[in-house]
Structure 1
Amino acid sequence: MAMLIQVATFLQEYLYESGHKIKKNDNAVRLGVISTAMINPAAIIRPADSHGDVIISAVASRDLKAAQKYAKQYGIPKAYGSYEELLVEPGIDAVYISLPNGMHAAWATRALQAGKHVLLEKPFTANADEAKALVALAKEKNLVLVEAFHWQWHPAAHTVKSLLQSGKYGEIIRTEARMTTPVGTMPKSDIRWKWDLAGGSFMDMTYVVSATRYFLDAGTPKEIVYANARPMKEDKRVDEAMDAVLKFEVGNTGRVVDARVWTDMARPNIGWVIPRLWELPSIEIETEKAVIYFYNFMMPHLYHYISVYDKVSKETTYLKAYKGGPLWGTRGESWWSTYRWQLEAFIDKIRGKDPVHWVTLESSVAQMETIDAVYEKSGLGKRQGHA
């Protein structure tokens, strides 16, 4: 389902955000896009249309003709036939990097060295060693660097977090997060399956770890109870699916919570025929007094619901949040995608303002440490970077 909701987001961006183009401010942040990846229109190009303080100024590919075609298609002024050319362009203030996983660290490093702020697609890097080095460089250069966990900026995510923080439902007991894609949806030629590009289901679907840690307000797990990988037949080093249970220490009392996370980039159909189309990325959080279920936490702007089952009254209430919420207040529009909310915060940060929410560098390091630990426990070993 992950691929299908991504396609739905492309449509949503086209219908809504591309129809809300606004005049750009004279001092707008000029942003370059490194890669011509399919995700770019939804993740940055369309969201920028409705933001007066950001202009997509250039796009780069290792193929000049591809970059020129892409630039023409999306109305981007400049096209470069190498990433290096874009990075030395003095008119570029920041870059969005949507290269394959294994290339994130290398090109984010080059971007920071060139004095550019960086919005870096998830996963942050191929492994925690790369993450730590990248974070140290960003701090040294005093530049904005953030991992693009776009869903964390959406009002629905903040609504769930506020329910947990309210204390009304007691302490968290356990969590379970899932993300799947029906078998055959993603061809085995896709970069997500490539070992040398840090591929694998747990890398691509790292949202399950992000959601778990966000709602637990946790760093790295205290223990990986188990991590069972289902390797792909074509390359046993790459996980087609991953099922793991992690123990997180939360709060100030040393209390431990069990968190199950599972991903599947080739989820088997029912009876070999019926795809599990209902399995949108979701997380269930059980507390002492309730069970809270956040359906489609990854792309809540398309559709989501938050159900709260009260263990005492045995009643279930439903919530939705497309605008405002406990953090954004009156800012934003209900048609904004998660990526548009993310862009709002990114530009705030570049402008020296305090964003309503932020994925800290320390959190991104902890995220990669968690992923490394799961891969090590599974026997596959942590992923490796690629220039």
Structure 2
Amino acid sequence: MAMALQLSTFVTQYLASGTHTNPTKSTNALRMGILSTAMINPAALIHPAETHGGVVIHGVASRDLSSAESYAKKYSIPHAYGSYSALLSDPAIEAVYISLPNGMHCEWAVRALEAGKHVLLEKPVAANADEARVVFETARRCERVCVEAFHWRFHPAAHVVDAIVASGRYGEVRKTSARMTTPSGSLPMSDIRWNYELAGGALMDMTYVLSSTRYFLHQPQLDEVLEATSVPSPEDSRVDQSTTATLRFSSSLSSTPITSTIYADMARSNSFWVIPRLWELPSISIECEEATIYFYNFMMPHLYHYIAITDKAGNTSYQKHYCFGPKWGVRGESWWSTYRYQLEAFVDKVQGREPVCWVDPEDSVQQMEAIDKVYEATGLGKRKGTQELVGSGEE
């Protein structure tokens, strides 16, 4: 389902680029490079940058020059590099987007930061919390911006839900439940998400379930893993095909500990054995004393979403928010994707302006700490980076 959402984003952004005039690029536009030729790049950066006057994509790197050149030609990127190091050595590039496999995030984020580049780093920020600390300590030391690309957190709909929960209108939060699934067979076993050496696994790829839980509880540390189980991949028992966990958090939104369940599944069984569960878009339910707030498709709300508020009498009201909201105000457009909002904030931060919203380093480290704790509770153990497993080197 995650891949289907990304493909839908490609289509909507392509249509948007055809119906909206792209702005003239500023003379001091941020020059960005891309490490990898991953499928996510067009949706996550290339197309959003087309509609941002303050960003230009200067180059793309692959371990194979011909692949980089072909990719650059396809997306009208002026420069191609046959190694990641070559791109980082280009003084014209000021910032990089890293969409390499999870296990390579730490190594190449550190190299990029030490090369003087700002970094937009795909989630999860690293293979484990130890690596996450290394990444952000390097950013601090090098005085560069580095942010985990939890794009959904930059969308107005997320801010509206947060405002509703935090207002106290419906009382204290009592429990939450988040899920994200992909229909069985959607991800071929050759996909990097199934690769242990690249820090694959359901909870790593679908870390959104934990991200949304922590975000709406105001980013608390995980108090305790009450229960956690994983279904191992049939190809590699070290990789979780699915993970279910019950967690306990202390939050400013409640005077008592909050119980949260998360469910991530990369091979969700079909309904009635034949019907793929295409309707199971990433969603979170937040139960308060007086009502339950349900946010459907929190991961890609720009495609479609709804916010349902059901009171104790069973009455339900619905909301949708594609722009405006309590943080962006009149800034932004209804056709902007989560990635486009994220890019707006990233450019502001890099250029010394206060972003409308942000993912702080401490938050990202605590996110990885929680992932580690869940994996340890399942018995699989926390993920390892590629350097720890096989030594350094380019993909």
- Report if the CA contact (8 A) 1:177-1:211 is conserved: yes
For 1:186 and 1:253, locate their aligned partners in 2 and report how far apart those are by CA, in whole Å. Answer: 39
TM superposition shift of 1:314: 3.1
Partner of 1:234: 235
TM superposition shift of 1:252: 8.2
CA offsets, 1:340-365, max 9 Å, x none? 00000000001111111100000000
For 1:370 and 1:128, locate their aligned partners in 2 and report how far apart those are by CA, in whole Å. Answer: 9
3-state SS of 2:227 partner: strand
Partner of 2:305: 304
Matches within 5 A, 1:277-296: 277-296=278-297
3-state SS of 1:156 partner: helix
For 2:344 and 2:276, locate their aligned partners in 1 and report how far apart those are by CA, in whole Å. Answer: 36
CA offsets, 1:203-243, max 9 Å, x none? 00000000000000133211000110000111000000000
- Report if the CA contact (8 A) 2:173-2:254 is conserved: no
Confirm whether residue 128 of structure 1 aligns to residue 122 of structure 2.
no
TM superposition shift of 1:134: 1.0
Counterpart residue identity of residue 224, structure 2: E
Partner of 1:382: 382
Confirm whether residue 30 of structure 1 aligns to residue 26 of structure 2.
no
3-state SS of 2:238 partner: strand
Counterpart residue identity of residue 106, structure 1: E
Partner of 1:344: 344
For 2:253 and 2:212, locate their aligned partners in 1 and report how far apart those are by CA, in whole Å. Answer: 21
Partner of 1:174: 175
Partner of 1:52: 53
TM superposition shift of 1:6: 1.4
For 1:191 and 1:114, locate their aligned partners in 2 and report how far apart those are by CA, in whole Å. Answer: 27
After the TM superposition, list the runs of 4 or more consecutive aligned residues in structure 1 that deviate by more than 3 angstroms: 17-20
For 2:5 and 2:52, locate their aligned partners in 1 and report how far apart those are by CA, in whole Å. Answer: 24
Confirm whether residue 156 of structure 1 aligns to residue 157 of structure 2.
yes
3-state SS of 1:16 partner: helix
CA offsets, 1:251-280, max 9 Å, x none? 187621000001000001123210011100
For 1:270 and 1:285, locate their aligned partners in 2 and report how far apart those are by CA, in whole Å. Answer: 25
TM superposition shift of 1:292: 0.3
For 1:101 and 1:219, locate their aligned partners in 2 and report how far apart those are by CA, in whole Å. Answer: 23
Which shows bigger deviation, 16-25 or 359-368?
A: 16-25
- Count of residues in correspondence between the two structures: 386
For 2:36 and 2:2, locate their aligned partners in 1 and report how far apart those are by CA, in whole Å. Answer: 21
Confirm whether residue 186 of structure 1 aligns to residue 178 of structure 2.
no
Counterpart residue identity of residue 341, structure 1: Y
- Report if the CA contact (8 A) 2:217-2:253 is conserved: no
CA offsets, 1:272-301, max 9 Å, x none? 210011100000000001000000000000
Confirm whether residue 271 of structure 1 aligns to residue 264 of structure 2.
no
3-state SS of 2:257 partner: strand
- Report if the CA contact (8 A) 1:285-1:291 is conserved: yes
Partner of 2:314: 314
3-state SS of 1:104 partner: helix
Partner of 2:389: none
For 1:167 and 1:252, locate their aligned partners in 2 and report how far apart those are by CA, in whole Å. Answer: 8
Counterpart residue identity of residue 24, structure 1: K
Partner of 1:3: 3
CA offsets, 1:87-124, max 9 Å, x none? 01000000000000000000000000000000000000
3-state SS of 1:373 partner: helix
For 1:314 and 1:272, locate their aligned partners in 2 and report how far apart those are by CA, in whole Å. Answer: 32
- Report if the CA contact (8 A) 2:173-2:253 is conserved: no
Partner of 2:334: 334
For 1:189 and 1:250, locate their aligned partners in 2 and report how far apart those are by CA, in whole Å. Answer: 40
3-state SS of 2:237 partner: strand
For 1:219 and 1:167, locate their aligned partners in 2 and report how far apart those are by CA, in whole Å. Answer: 18
TM superposition shift of 1:17: 3.4
TM superposition shift of 1:18: 5.6
For 2:346 and 2:315, locate their aligned partners in 1 and report how far apart those are by CA, in whole Å. Answer: 39
For 2:260 and 2:113, locate their aligned partners in 1 and report how far apart those are by CA, in whole Å. Answer: 35
- Report if the CA contact (8 A) 1:17-1:47 is conserved: no
For 2:18 and 2:294, locate their aligned partners in 1 and report how far apart those are by CA, in whole Å. Answer: 32
For 2:189 and 2:172, locate their aligned partners in 1 and report how far apart those are by CA, in whole Å. Answer: 42
3-state SS of 2:132 partner: helix
3-state SS of 1:381 partner: coil
Give TM-score, length-normalised by structure 2. 0.96
Partner of 1:224: 225
For 1:239 and 1:157, locate their aligned partners in 2 and report how far apart those are by CA, in whole Å. Answer: 28
CA offsets, 1:50-108, max 9 Å, x none? 00000000000000000000000000000000000000100000000000000000000
Partner of 1:139: 140
Confirm whether residue 366 of structure 1 aligns to residue 366 of structure 2.
yes
- Report if the CA contact (8 A) 1:219-1:367 is conserved: no
Give ranges in structure 2 of 5+ residues lacking alignment. 387-391
- Report if the CA contact (8 A) 1:224-1:246 is conserved: yes
- Report if the CA contact (8 A) 1:18-1:46 is conserved: no
- Report if the CA contact (8 A) 1:31-1:54 is conserved: yes
For 2:372 and 2:255, locate their aligned partners in 1 and report how far apart those are by CA, in whole Å. Answer: 23
For 1:17 and 1:364, locate their aligned partners in 2 and report how far apart those are by CA, in whole Å. Answer: 32
- Report if the CA contact (8 A) 1:96-1:119 is conserved: yes
